[in-house]
Amino acid sequence: MTVGLNVPRSVQWTGQSIILLDQTKLPLEVYYKELKTVTEVWNSIVALEVRGAPAIGITAAFGLVLAAQAAKAEEIEEFFQSFNTAKSYLASSRPTAVNLFWALNRVTAAMQGALSVGEAIALAEAEAIAIQQEDEEVCRAIGEHALTLFNDGDAVLTICNAGSIATARYGTALAPFYVAKEKGLNIKVYASETRPVLQGARLTAWELQQAEVDVTLITDNMAASTIASKSITAIIVGADRIVANGDTANKVGTFGLAILAKHFEIPFYVAAPLSTFDVSLQTGADIVIEERSAEEVTHMQGVRTAPEGIAVYNPAFDVTPHHLITGIITEKGIIRGDFEVEIKHLFL
């Protein structure tokens, strides 16, 4: 079943190119660009034209298909050499969201056993399409499960954009709000603006407004007073990588919200698909946190807001320790308690 969701798809595959909703231009402009080469795909991921863990994975998967289609090899060994170079290149675009590596590996695995270049390309394309289709179903399921945690009239805080445009459709942390809307429930969403590049203000506020979900924008430093004054009942966030013990990397600022949730004794939920889990890492200390350019902090929309030469620290993500997380919502349901054990069960 699909919701009449009035939010455009962020990634569309034409068969020879990707039509990408350029998220850097939102909310001022709904602009689509066509990506035809693996270099264009890499650039779009690095520039945050496409962002959000599942959407990055989907785009990279189609990027691999473009690379496969462009490979000028007739022999399968030679083809795989150039394919693997493109795969490593795409893998170097952003380090933290594990969905990128998961999607690249999934497409690669689907091509094993191909006897001809044509067959390999067809298998890659079918797998990339499947990754996107499955993500839509998975996000829908996350929304259904997450909604069981909320009641009509609740006020819920979120950060960054873990919404429809960060995935194939519906989003992860925002999915319950779309499902609630469909069921006629009113959940009030508070969106934290998410400095430095404002995914909350530009993207979450925009997409929830498009879908006529009740959304109020706050700046990041208003979170504590908003929880206190607006009777926030829960916090829900997305994830870029969840490791074996439940420690979770997500947009920088998430960790602070988890600490606030503990202070105010409200639940703190993480919503993410199984493709965001990385059980090869034991604790959050093992997660590589992307550091982005100083200019994201020293400038606003190209205008300098800090002195020349100032030292800047700009980690794009932080890690929330598992003991601050009330529950993790996946397509298979909600896990709580001993995350180490529960996460193992998810993958049985």
Ligand X SMILES: CSC[C@@H](O)[C@@H](O)C(=O)COP(=O)(O)O
- Considering the complex, state which of residue 54 and residue 176 has its C-beta at the smaller distance from ligand X: 54
Q: Closest separation between CB of residue 16 and ligand X, Å?
A: 26
How far is the C-alpha of 143 from the C-alpha of 326, rounded, in Å?
17
Q: Which of 135, 154, 220, 240 is catalytic?
A: 240
How far is the C-alpha of 348 from the C-alpha of 345, rounded, in Å?
5
CB atoms within 10 A of CB 116: 12
Q: Closest separation between CB of residue 171 and ligand X, Å?
A: 6
How far is the C-alpha of 273 from the C-alpha of 54, rounded, in Å?
8
- Considering the complex, state which of residue 192 and residue 250 has its C-beta at the smaller distance from ligand X: 250
Q: Closest separation between CB of residue 222 and ligand X, Å?
A: 19
166 makes contact with ligand X (CB under 6 A): yes
How far is the C-alpha of 213 from the C-alpha of 88, rounded, in Å?
40
Active site residue 135: no
- Considering the complex, state which of residue 54 and residue 63 has its C-beta at the smaller distance from ligand X: 54
Please report, as residue ranges, which positions from 5 to 64 form the binding site for ligand X (by CB under 6 A). 51-54
Interface residue with ligand X among 172, 226, 248, 326 (CB under 6 A) is 172
Interface residue with ligand X among 136, 144, 240, 278 (CB under 6 A) is 240
**Nearest residue (beta carbon) to ligand X:** 238
DSSP 151: -
143 makes contact with ligand X (CB under 6 A): no
Cα-to-chain-centroid distance, residue 297: 21
Q: Is 303 exposed, middle or buried (CB count within 10 Å of its CB: 0-12, 13-18, 19+)?
A: exposed
CB atoms within 10 A of CB 151: 12
Residue 178 contacts residue 205 (beta carbons within 8 Å) = no
No. of helices (H) and no. of strands (E), the chain = 11, 16
Q: Closest separation between CB of residue 203 and ligand X, Å?
A: 8
Per CB under 6 A, the segment of 35-43, 144-152, 160-168, 326-334 that binds ligand X is 160-168
Residue 52 annotated as part of some ligand binding site: yes
Per 3-state DSSP, what percentage of the chain is helix, strand, and coil (rounded to 5)?
45, 15, 40
Smallest Cα–Cα separation from 250: which of 236, 263, 264, 260? Answer: 236
Per CB under 6 A, the segment of 1-9, 109-117, 164-172, 185-193 that binds ligand X is 164-172
- Considering the complex, state which of residue 61 and residue 162 has its C-beta at the smaller distance from ligand X: 162
145 makes contact with ligand X (CB under 6 A): no
Residue 183 annotated as part of some ligand binding site: no
Q: Closest separation between CB of residue 301 and ligand X, Å?
A: 17
246 makes contact with ligand X (CB under 6 A): no
Smallest Cα–Cα separation from 287: which of 239, 236, 242? Answer: 242
Q: Closest separation between CB of residue 294 and ligand X, Å?
A: 16
Residue 161 contacts residue 204 (beta carbons within 8 Å) = yes
Please report, as residue ranges, which positions from 198 to 227 form the binding site for ligand X (by CB under 6 A). 199
Q: Which residues are annotated as a binding site for substrate?
A: 51-53, 94, 199, 250-251
Binding site for ligand X (CB under 6 A): 51-54, 97, 160, 162, 166-167, 171-172, 199, 238-240, 250-251, 316
